[in-house]
Structure 1
């Protein structure tokens, strides 16, 4: 794939998913499991289904350590290792990180991991990066929480130069990055917005209403031009397609009709890609994905031949 970012926003708006594809935040689904730790027993089947159904991207979290007080283990697997696996079992869907916590990682190994995924996936990687927001992790990794913003800038420079400005003559990181690596920032990463607009290829914005996104996307475009503005929506899809929209923290409960209206409003507000997060969803995930593919994706992916190719 020559340009993953162009494909992400082709048609002006696209829809993806955030992994894990599980509804473990719904009390009835826990069945004694620890809240925040998802059931990954069907993860491969569901990832392949998402690919076949025509969702544009799947995003994984970088959660190095599970902190029960924070209540979220992400998809439990290491982000880069998991993306290597997903690259092998999927064909077309983009593979995104939302987001790698750069200050906790050794930068040249981050570069090598990203280059490896980019090569194995034939250019499908979208590298979302962040400075991190869990203070408990930093002393455990022997990192200085107060310096995470400075460390973030240093690591971006290493990624952009592919390590060449930081290695002795004749030493390099393989594989070569081709195509070049799209880097998107989650939040502000302890930086000023103009710096992010100059150095990042896209923005991973926190969840919000269409009005929130209208303000945020305008601020982003003032410093970044037409670079992609991406966000996430926590979705509880109602079985009744006519059920009206009700907002909850970070998202909505809605039937398909109201969801289409909400996504249309987000597109008008400047959002170019939205990833759907299902951990508050009450219905079975497979059933939800199939309904979205038949009832929602065609409104937004009409030029994508994979959009309604239900297996």
Structure 2
């Protein structure tokens, strides 16, 4: 564990490096984020990141972080639960709550609870009412590398009051190391997706991908404007294939227990003036976010799968990222 930087409130941010199966991952306590991920036989990092902590307080606030307590958007920054209205921080154009608001998980400095050569565990206790969300949450995240270099992220949580809970990992991937997704192809294991309105809020329809620009059931080139949720299932289950990202020389297979996959092709990225791993800012299309999660705005759609975490229950999400050459 090494010192990475200091937050404005004086809190130290630590970086933990883990290794396994020829892969190396660097995890920061700030945001419980994956700051770097590399394979031994590949010269460049596979995930976008920065050596500058300040970047993660600005344009790179979601890069590699665990976002939540509810990933993606909540319409109007409000929802009803058990006949009670809750008002949240609206951090997107004053309209929506994005990734938990200004005090979401990505902006919290988590505590390291355990470290091993191939794994690191972190914990964050979210007080009741933070960002407008009910319930005190005990959230834990564990990154680990196995003997094949596969990276597994496990997120668990418990609460003392009913609360919406649907976190996600928000890393931006670039398998080419060129800051350009033009050579990438995407394959998503989904027959349906969620259409959205002008504020990127689901309309409530679950639509087939067939004969639409959202049909990635066979590998194909990326639409740079893509920013939609694909419906993988209607309930959490065992690990199952979610998607594959590939170039001519590398591939990344994603498996998850989650029911949705938000794909953001990075069309709006602009990290100026902060540098990325290569010393230059990232621009549009520099990386793609593949975010296993619940369906967006679930608290406001009774017909969507229920994302309410109850006292006495344990939430568990597992996602595996398997990168390989060839």
Give the structure-2-normalised TM-score. 0.25
Q: Of the two structures, which has the highest relative contact order with CA contacts closer than 8 Å and spacing of 6 or more?
A: 1
Higher helix content, 1 or 2: 1
Instruction: Give the TM-score taking structure 1 as reference length.
Output: 0.26
More strand by share: 2
